[in-house]
Structure formats: structure tokens, C-alpha cells
Structure 1
Amino acid sequence: MTEDDRGNRLATLDYMHTMLGQLRAMAEAQRCDMLAYLIEMASQEAGDIVRGEKSRSAAGKRRTRAN
């Protein structure tokens, strides 16, 4: 995967995380508790992936600078 591909993936996942947060709020406002819960789980998963991608990217950059 190229650096551009990783950047696009990260941007897409970050956008999805944001949109899922908004969808969760909408579901809560309509008292759709199960739907809000499932959306929250998806939001947390997207956030976890984003954090993992960012930490892998930072670790790779540190290794590159060290060599």
C-alpha cells in the first residue's frame, strides 16, 4: 500500500468515525436504543482502526529516521 493509499484510508476511516457519531446522536434522539448501541460499536471500531493506523504510521516514520 502506498503512502497515498494509507492517507486516503485514514481520511475515509476518520470521516466514517465522525459520521457514525452523528448517526448515533440521531438514533438516540429518536429513542432507538439498540440502533444507537450498534452504531456506537461501529464508531468505536472505526476509532480503534484510525488510532492503530496512526500509531503504525508514526512508528514507521521513527524507524525511517533512526536508520
Structure 2
Amino acid sequence: MNSKPRIPLQAGGQAREKIAYIRQMLGELRAVADAEGAEMLRYLIEMAYVEAGDIQAGLRPLSIRGEGNQPAGMAVEPAGKVQF
């Protein structure tokens, strides 16, 4: 039994419907990836499918913004030309 506290989906019913739709589409994509033998792609889609289910069940928040480490806000410059 899962002892994690449930986190209600804070947005309205439309957000719930969208998460349900995303999860349904991920399920279909997972089946396509599986049929094609794309194991890594299937795994990544499966993780997103599980995440969407956790959000629906209230086990995860819709967003993790404001939690954990924050980006430093430093600009990243392109490496430029690579010389061999």
C-alpha cells in the first residue's frame, strides 16, 4: 500500500481532462514503440505514462517548480567551431 500523501490536482477539471488525454496518447505511443521494437523509446514513454498516472492519482504535483535546486541563471554560450 502506498503511504505517500495525496496531492490534489490544483487546476480545474480542464487540466484533469488534459492529463487524462496525455496519458491515453502515451499509452498508444507505447504500444507503437513496442510493436516496432524501439525498447529505449518505449521505456521513456512508459516513464511519462507512469508520471501522468501519478499526477492523476494525486501522488505527484502537476509541477515541480519551486522545489529542489534552482538553475544558476548563467548564460550558456555555444562552443563555436570544433577543430579536429
**Normalised TM-score (structure 2):** 0.56
Match 2:30 to one of 21, 24, 35:
24
SS at match of 2:12: helix
Match 2:48 to one of 42, 48, 51:
42
Identity of aligned residues (%): 49
Whole-angstrom CA distance in 2 between matches of 1:43 and 1:8 = 19
Residue 6 of structure 1 deviates from its aligned partner by 1.2
Deviations 1:8-38 (A, max 9, x none): 0000000100110000000000000000000
**Normalised TM-score (structure 1):** 0.69
SS at match of 1:31: coil
Consecutive unaligned residues of structure 2, counting only runs of 5 or more, are 1-10, 60-84
User: Root-mean-square deviation (CA), in Å?
Assistant: 1.3
Whole-angstrom CA distance in 1 between matches of 2:12 and 2:48 = 20
Give the number of the structure whose alpha-carbon radius of gyration is greater.
Answer: 2
When the two structures are aligned, how many residues end up with a matched partner? Answer: 49
Which structure features the higher share of helix residues?
1
Consecutive unaligned residues of structure 1, counting only runs of 5 or more, are 54-67
